Amino acid sequence: MDFRLGEAAERVRTEIRQFLEQEFSQTHRQQERDTGDGHNWSLYRKLADQGWVSAAWPKEFGGGGRDPYEMLALYWELSKAGFPWFGLLNNSFIGHTLMAMGSEQQKAELVPKIASGDIMVALGYTEPSSGSDVAAARTSARREQDHWVIEGQKMFTTTGHMAQYIFTLVRTDAKASKHRGLTMFLIPTDAPGVEIYPVHTMGGERTNSVFFGGVKIEDAQRVGEVNEGWAVVRFALGLEQAMGYADRQEALLEKAEQWALASTDNNSITTPDPRMEQQLGRMAANAEVARLLRYRSTWMQAEGMAQQTEGTMTKAFSAKVFLQDAQDWMDLMGPLALLEHGTENALSEGAFAEAYRATPVATIYGGTLEILYSLIGQMALKFPRNR
């Protein structure tokens, strides 16, 4: 047995920490706090220049051929630092998907621009009336001569307002069964009829609601075959390792430990309030277990082992305890913890209030806890399908 990520991954960790130290300034942090964009063009281009957008793509696709441990180290450090990394994450998956399933033209023209950080693509799966039931998408495309006309609406299109394209799941055959009538398109955000409106969240993110009103697009914007969109979505989703939040749990734990250390006598290993001590121990264990579950699915990915519900378990466990710990820690801190970042007397620069606001969505996006539990039940415990 060996629980270490290995030297290559540790080198990535060091490199990314140095990058963050040098480039991710207080101004950038404040900018992200103010906008909630989840993406920063200047930082993104710098990461792209160093090959990080395409780092996970196979070398034969012009990618960096980085292994899953190196990718874990990259994502871990960015996420733990609160870096606006959604553009990077999504484009790593989308670029890889286009390489595998896109047209020759997309491979030749679009993919290099994604890799170089010149363009960024946002994900358009979710709709107002289809969240967990993603294959129930209603946004439609109808063929008119040599082009398509898109009508409909997407929801929670994070980074969409900064993207050049939206990777959009669209219904092209209303009569076919749910999964069979779908097609994937790359819709340019500057096409006439595309309207993007902000949706602000309690966690401070800006996401979007995107409307397509008779948007005309070329057939060349189609990814994969007509009515084969589900296969494209499945490929793209398959690249996403359900990562959970161990990195952010660790960040919260460290802030809590630093606070406890600063607020007690020197040279004592005992926290004066035993309730606080117990909660610190609990948070440490929950962060450790979330990390180990994530390491396990990363290890299986690296070894080419078929995964069943390992990623699902990682996400389900981590989301649940992250939310619980953020709430429980807040409960121990008293009213000063309510003060937001930038105010006088704020505890740990408002980190605990921020965690309290930011964690509820962990149990919702990327698969709600209920969807994840049903999957674990069906696959790991051989339960009948349940909804």
Partner 1 sequence: MDLSLDESQRILQRSFSEFFARECPTELVRGSESTGFDETLWRRFCELGAAAMGLPQAYGGLDMGLFDLGLVAAQIGQSLAPLPFADVASAGRLLATLPDVDEALMTSIAEGTGLISLCDRSQELPGGNKVCLPNGAIVAKVITMQGEDLLLWDLEPQHATVANMGSGALAIHDLSLAVPRRLASGPQARMQFEHALAEWKLLVAAMQTGLAKKALEIGADYARTRIQFDVPIASFQAIAHPLAEAAAQVDGAELLWQQAAWSRANSAKRFLELASMALAFCSQVARHTSDVALHTHGGYGFTTEYDIQLFYRRSGAWSCYFGGVSNAYCEVARQRRANAMAGK
Contacting residues toward partner 1, per CB under 8 A: 1-6, 69, 257, 260-261, 267, 269-271, 274, 277-282, 284-285, 288-290, 292-293, 295-296, 298-299, 302, 309-310, 312-314, 316-317, 320, 370, 372-377, 380-387
CB of 48 to partner 1, least distance (A): 28
CA dist., res. 117 & res. 112, Å (int):
9
Q: Min. distance of Cβ 102 from partner 1 in angstroms? A: 32
Choose between 44 and 317: whose C-beta lies nearer to partner 1: 317
CA-to-CA dists, residue 173 to 233, 294, 298, 358, angstroms = 17, 38, 37, 38
Q: Classify residue 150 by its DSSP letter.
A: E
Separation CA 283–CA 204 (nearest Å): 24
Question: How many CB atoms lie under 10 A from the CB of residue 368?
Answer: 15
Whole-angstrom Cα distance, residue 370 to residue 362? 12
Pairing type for strands 121-124 and 165-171 reads parallel
CB of 305 to partner 1, least distance (A): 9
Gap between the Cα atoms of 230 and 219, Å rounded:
18
Query: Diameter of the chain by CA atoms?
Result: 78
Choose between 253 and 358: whose C-beta lies nearer to partner 1: 253
Q: How far is CA 228 from CA 131, 172, 225, in A?
A: 20, 10, 5
Compute the least distance from the CB of residue 373 to partner 1, in Å. 4
C-beta of 1: minimal distance to partner 1 in Å?
5
Token look-up 């874990």 returns 72
91 vs 121: CA distance, rounded Å: 6
- The nearest distance, CB 198 to partner 1, in angstroms, is 34
Shortest distance, position 11 Cβ to partner 1, whole Å: 15
- Strand 194-200 and strand 206-218: the pairing is antiparallel
Whichever of 276 and 353 has its CB closer to partner 1, that residue is 276
Q: What's the closest the beta carbon of residue 128 comes to partner 1, in angstroms?
A: 24
Nearer to partner 1, 146 or 303 (CB): 303
Cβ–Cβ < 8 Å for 283, 252: yes
Nearest to 30 by CA among 323, 362, 247, 340: 340
Residue among 195 and 288 whose Cβ is closer to partner 1: 288
